[in-house]
């Protein structure tokens, strides 16, 4: 099973690319658990909620693995949770850091901030997109995981992603 994480700042097309890649490869994608969780809160989120989101994201991915067709695309991962915690609360719980070190994605697609910002009640930082992009890139480098940067408008992003995923598949003799 090849696992690809789509990561990066808010409003960079993570959900869109995850869904399109899954459709192209006739497999499943793991939606961002935070969307439904926060959408159902009737109050501001707190650190306990972010921890519940991290657990929910991990459980959802585990559940969907059995439905995957040799590939699975994750629309978010624990890098997102780590950065969210550190930015909002100044720290990340140790158990999340430990699980982050155990993640085993074959490739990360780091989504660039060159798409127009799309307002959404759950999005918080339109003015900090480059700041967060740089932070994501530093985190991926520090983790020593394989990643590629994806940029351009929608179709260009999809073509870049397909090229990189295709290379990964070829290297691993999958599909």
Number of domains in the chain: 1
Q: What is the model's pLDDT at position 154? A: 87
Write the pLDDT tens digit of every residue in 39-55. 888 888 999 999 999 99
Q: What is the pLDDT of residue 29?
A: 97
Q: Domain range for residue 36?
A: 2-171
- pLDDT at position 112 is 96
Q: How far is CA 61 from the centre of its chain?
A: 12
User: Facing residues of 2 across strands?
Assistant: 71
Question: Given this model, what pLDDT does residue 126 score?
Answer: 67
Confidence (pTM)? 0.93
Predicted confidence at residue 119, as pLDDT, reads: 60
Question: Terminal CA-to-CA distance of the chain, rounded, Å?
Answer: 10
Report the CATH number that the domain containing residue 162 is assigned in CATH: 3.40.50.300
Contact by Cβ (8 Å): 109, 147: yes
Whether residue 72 contacts residue 61, with contact meaning beta carbons closer than 8 Å, is answered with: yes
Paired with 150 in beta bridges are 111
Q: Which residues face 7 on adjacent strands?
A: 110
Sheet holding 71-75, edge to edge: 28-30, 71-75, 2-7, 107-111, 147-150
**Each residue's pLDDT tens digit, 79-94:** 999 999 999 999 999 9
Per-chain mean pLDDT for the chain: 92
133 falls in which pLDDT band (50, 70, 90)? Answer: very high
Distance, in Å, from the CA atom of 155 to the CA atom of 160, rounded to the nearest integer, reads 9
As a whole number of angstroms, the distance between CA 25 and CA 44 comes to: 37
The average pLDDT across 68-72 equals 95
Is a pLDDT exceeding 60 seen at residue 6? yes
């Amino acid at each position: 099973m090849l696992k690809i994480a789509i990561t990066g700042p808010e409003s960079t097309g993570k959900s869109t690319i995850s869904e399109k890649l899954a459709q192209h490869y006739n497999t499943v994608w793991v939606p961002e658990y935070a969307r439904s969780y926060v959408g159902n809160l009737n109050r501001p989120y707190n650190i306990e909620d972010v921890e519940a989101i991290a657990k929910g994201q991990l459980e959802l991915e585990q559940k969907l693995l059995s439905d995957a067709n040799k590939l699975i695309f994750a629309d978010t991962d624990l890098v997102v949770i780590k950065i969210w915690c550190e930015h909002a609360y100044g720290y990340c719980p140790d158990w999340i850091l430990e699980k982050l070190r155990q993640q085993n994605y074959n490739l990360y697609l780091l989504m660039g901030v060159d798409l127009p910002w799309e307002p959404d009640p759950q999005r918080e930082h339109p003015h900090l997109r480059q700041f967060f992009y740089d932070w994501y890139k530093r985190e991926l480098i520090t983790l020593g995981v394989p990643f590629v940067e994806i940029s351009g408008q929608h179709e260009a992003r999809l073509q870049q992603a397909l090229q990189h995923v295709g290379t990964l598949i070829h290297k691993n003799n999958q599909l």
